Amino acid sequence: MEEFDVAIVGYGPAGAVLAHLLGQCGLKTVVLERESAAYHLPRAVHFDAEVMRVLQWIGIAEKIEPMTALHPGMRFVDGGGKLLLDWPRPQGEGPQGWRANYRFHQPDLEKLLRDGLADRPEVSVRTRCDVFFVEDQGESVEIRYEDMTCGKVNRIRAKYVVGCDGARSLIRRYIESGMEDYGFHERWLVVDLILNRDKPELGDHSIQYCVPERPATYVRGPGMRRRWEITVRPEEDSAEIARPERVWELLKDWITPEEAELERTAVYVFHSLVADDWRKGRLLLAGDACHQTPPFMGQGMCAGTRDVANLYWKLALICQGKVTGEAAERLLDTYESERKPNAREYIQTAVRLGGLINTVGTETALRAALPGADGSARMESIAPPIGPGLGQGEKAGRLFGQPRLADGRLMDRVFPHAFVVVADAELAEGLDLPEGVGLVTTANSNAAEHLARLGARATVLRPDRHTLGGADTPEELRALVALILPNPLTLQEPEMV
Ligand SMILES: Cc1cc2nc3c(=O)[nH]c(=O)nc-3n(C[C@H](O)[C@H](O)[C@H](O)COP(=O)(O)OP(=O)(O)OC[C@H]3O[C@@H](n4cnc5c(N)ncnc54)[C@H](O)[C@@H]3O)c2cc1C
């Protein structure tokens, strides 16, 4: 029977990004996908700097960047068009080394992800393969799938299976996980248009129309793409409201059929769910398989990307035999304990935002409900820390920025997939580092501003660029460095933060 380190079920963005990351780490990986091609219609239209940084790791960032559009921010208006709240987003390079937000077309990204995998010999992609059975046999998992091109059933074996198999995940059923429900289940009509000619009056901002009778969202996509998302009332029929004549009637205040082509119309039911269990033995979940969010923050695919960035290096350390036994079990358990609270926080904010769009709020009410309760309402200020897991102290589990080295290169290009010590130059003097661990100091980079943001003189970064903690003295820094795998077979007891 063919054997793999990891079998990924599902070749959406979560599965594809995970396949790249595992392939880069040299893991023998198979991706099994039921469909023959990527889903060709638009879904996600926004991603953030953290996602762009992951795309940088796998060589996609520079390719997708020219295909993106600026995202100046979000505006909330009432039925009469009066501005209730302006929520600008920072422009220019931010702490992650990229812009804070990007507008994009999901099929463009999925094509780049798939094209890029053709150059990764460690990864075998098998489309038209429907997985119908998995069995965790203790030492490995047996997977059975139907090759839909010929109807043949194949059996393979993998050390781990990651279900990136979307909202109706089969792997989630094998894990027998329930779903935590945050109470948002609404039908929204999603309309994607391609303009025949430019229409600058529509603007570049996302606009939330806080009109209780018919809440709606306008989003500018890249190029001539534009999207409206419009609430479907309980008494309305999904098929009827998605008819072109009805759609143009709903859009008449903004645009006419002469000005654009309808690319697609579809009614989605948006949910707000998080799986109770993200792991059972050798089976794990990532992406929509373990969380689903209303789209108001544009964070569904972003959350899936954060999942796989958290998971890949843990699987790599284990499959490479660098972490074994009980330590491997504990390391894998930190995946759910770290990721779940972060995903939950984003979903709850999206639910709050959805509630607001359904009402005509005052500026004060809107601002209070938005991320950044300090009134700044800046997305950056809310990026919630990950939950308890690896590291030490309250400065553990923070997403750290990406320093630029003196020669202009971004840190992750120089130390891909490695642990990195970022430290004040004086504190780093004479520091003894395990093999393969990078060192970036205030003397050879702009690390000082990143350390100031963390509020520490030094930190140790995991491969996913979250901190293991903060240090202000040489002793504290040595203690943090000791949390990095000091030799291939032992993992220090992780302190739950
Ligand atoms: C209208 C809309 C707007 C959105 N806007 C945003 C946004 O702006 N920003 C954002 O970040 N996110 C957004 N999202 C969410 C985003 O599109 C999803 O979160 C993302 O596509 C999920 O990726 P995934 O890889 O987890 O799952 P999917 O893309 O659903 O992929 C799962 C794959 O698994 C395959 N599969 C399932 N079962 C099996 C099986 N048994 N065997 C083999 N293959 C199987 C499926 O065929 C599918 O290809 C939006 C979604 C919608 C619908």
Residue 87: the pLDDT is 84
Phi then psi for 49, rounded to 5 degrees? Answer: -65, -35
Position 156, amino acid: I
CA 364 to chain centre: 30
Interior CA angle at 58 toward 45 and 308, to 5°?
A: 70
Half-sphere exposure of residue 171: CA atoms within 13 angstroms, side-chain side: 35
CA-CA distance, 328 to 485, in Å (whole number)?
12
Question: Would you say the C-alpha torsion 412, 307, 126, 62 has a positive or negative sign?
Answer: negative
Ligand 1 surroundings by CB, under 6 angstroms: 9-15, 32-35, 43-47, 106, 130-131, 164-166, 170, 190, 268, 287-288, 295, 298-302, 304
CA-CA distance, 43 to 64, in Å (whole number)?
16
CA of 14, closest atom in ligand 1: 25
Residue 382: the pLDDT is 60
Helices 49-57 and 13-24 pack at an angle, to 10 degrees, of 40
CA of 270, closest atom in ligand 1: 53
Three-state SS string over the chain comes to CEEEEEEEECCCHHHHHHHHHHHHCCCCEEEEECCCCCCCCCCCCEEEHHHHHHHHHCCCHHHHHHHCECCCEEEEECCCCCEEEEEECCCCCCCCCCCCEEECCHHHHHHHHHHHHCCCCCEEEEECEEEEEEEECCCCEEEEEEECCCCEEEEEEEEEEEECCCCCCHHHHHHCCCEEECCCCEEEEEEEEEECCCCHHHCCCEEEECCCCCCEEEEECCCCEEEEEEECCCCCCHHHHCCHHHHHHHCCCCCCCCCEEEEEEEEEEECCEEECCCEECCEEECHHHCEECCHHHCCHHHHHHHHHHHHHHHHHHHHCCCCCHHHHHHHHHHHHHHHHHHHHHHHHHHHHHHHHHCCCCCHHHHHHHCCCCCCCCCHHHHCCCCCCCCCCCCCCCCECCCCEECCCCEHHHHCCCCCEEEECHHHHCCCCCCCCCEEEECCCECHHHHHHHHCCCEEEECCCCEEEEEECCHHHHHHHHCCCCCECCECCCCCCC
Residue 80: the pLDDT is 85
The rounded Å distance from CA 203 to ligand 1 centre is 28
The rounded Å distance from CA 56 to ligand 1 centre is 21
Residue 409: the pLDDT is 96
* Of 379, 349, 420, residue with least CA distance to 100: 379
CA of 287, closest atom in ligand 1: 26
Tell me the pLDDT tens digit for each residue of 295-339: 888 899 999 999 999 999 999 999 999 999 999 999 999 999 999
| Ligand 1 probe mutation, 47, 106, 185, 267, most atoms within 8 A of CB | 106
- What is the average pLDDT score of the chain? 91
* Of 20, 14, 9, residue with least CA distance to 145: 9
CA of 188, closest atom in ligand 1: 1
The rounded Å distance from CA 13 to ligand 1 centre is 7
Residue 371: the pLDDT is 58
The rounded Å distance from CA 353 to ligand 1 centre is 22
CA-CA distance, 383 to 206, in Å (whole number)?
20
The tokens for 95 are 């702490």
Tell me the pLDDT tens digit for each residue of 197-208: 999 999 999 999
| Ligand 1 probe mutation, 145, 219, 264, 301, most atoms within 8 A of CB | 301
The rounded Å distance from CA 79 to ligand 1 centre is 32
Residue 361: the pLDDT is 60
The rounded Å distance from CA 424 to ligand 1 centre is 42
CA-CA distance, 376 to 97, in Å (whole number)?
22
Residue 41: the pLDDT is 83
The rounded Å distance from CA 330 to ligand 1 centre is 29
The rounded Å distance from CA 8 to ligand 1 centre is 14
Query: CATH number of the domain at 388-481, please?
Result: 3.40.30
Residues 6+ apart with CB under 8 A from 120: 19, 20, 23, 24
Domain 186-270 fold is D-Amino Acid Oxidase; Chain A, domain 2 (3.30.9)
Protein residue whose Cα sits closest to atom 16 of ligand 1: 301
The rounded Å distance from CA 38 to ligand 1 centre is 10
CA of 302, closest atom in ligand 1: 11
Give the C-alpha distances (Å, rounded to integers) separating 440 from 313, 445, 451, 469, 477.
Answer: 20, 7, 11, 16, 14
CA of 130, closest atom in ligand 1: 42
The rounded Å distance from CA 288 to ligand 1 centre is 6
Residue 487: the pLDDT is 45
Protein residue whose Cα sits closest to atom 35 of ligand 1: 10
The rounded Å distance from CA 37 to ligand 1 centre is 13
Phi then psi for 212, rounded to 5 degrees? Answer: -55, -35
Q: How would CATH label the architecture of 2-67+106-181+273-359?
A: 3-Layer(bba) Sandwich (3.50)
pLDDT < 50 stretches in the chain: 373-381, 487-497
Residue 373: the pLDDT is 40
Residue 370: the pLDDT is 63
Residue 374: the pLDDT is 44
Q: What is the pTM of this model?
A: 0.95
Residues 6+ apart with CB under 8 A from 22: 5, 6, 8, 29, 122, 123, 312, 315, 316
Residue 363: the pLDDT is 64
CA of 10, closest atom in ligand 1: 34
Q: Where are the domains of the chain?
A: 2-67+106-181+273-359, 186-270, 388-481
